[in-house]
Chains A and B, each alone.
Chain A
Amino acid sequence: NAGVTQTPKFRILKIGQSMTLQCTQDMNHNYMYWYRQDPGMGLKLIYYSVGAGITDKGEVPNGYNVSRSTTEDFPLRLELAAPSQTSVYFCASMSENEKLFFGSGTQLSVL
């Protein structure tokens, strides 16, 4: 039972570098999400997808891009990393009874 798998677990970037956070789920869920978690701020929604080929912005989309070419995969791309993007990133998928399943997170530092 893999559930939601995120890679990498940790990453350090220099300002201006780019990277892709990978997310895959094996539960055939249509809805997938990217959140970032900052201390004392809870989780903020970056982007979400309601199915393959369909994505939309969440609360804090600036500086990020996503794609959803398959039901399983929902990668998050940072094009020009900035210190403000230092955070813990969580990918999640949602079952039909509204339950969110989370990955174990990616801790990203931009220096």
Chain B
Amino acid sequence: QVQLVQSGAEVKKPGASVKVSCKASGYIFTSYYMHWVRQAPGQGLEWMGIINPSIGSTTYAQKFQGRVTMTRDKSTNTVYMELSSLRSEDTAMYYCARDRSGSDSGAFDIWGQGTMVTVSS
């Protein structure tokens, strides 16, 4: 079945970086763009950016420009999201989510289970 499985929870100190993985299975990895969305505790959903797994091109939300890097490994059907210069406000659940359209213009039809990132000194 189609699924996205994310890496486990992380605890980081302020100023550090975190890299979250999202492994896709059950479909052709390079045929669907992947988004990253985060959700602070008790808060709403915030879009971070998108990656085209076929060629690796990315678009980031302006808020995260310069701090976020999205990459992919086609050999393992995995996308990664790295966030640097972490601060307490980055404490959140991070989700990968597949774009259903086959390009970058669709709703998010498959979601990972989420990865909790806690930033604390």
Report whether chain A binds chain B: no
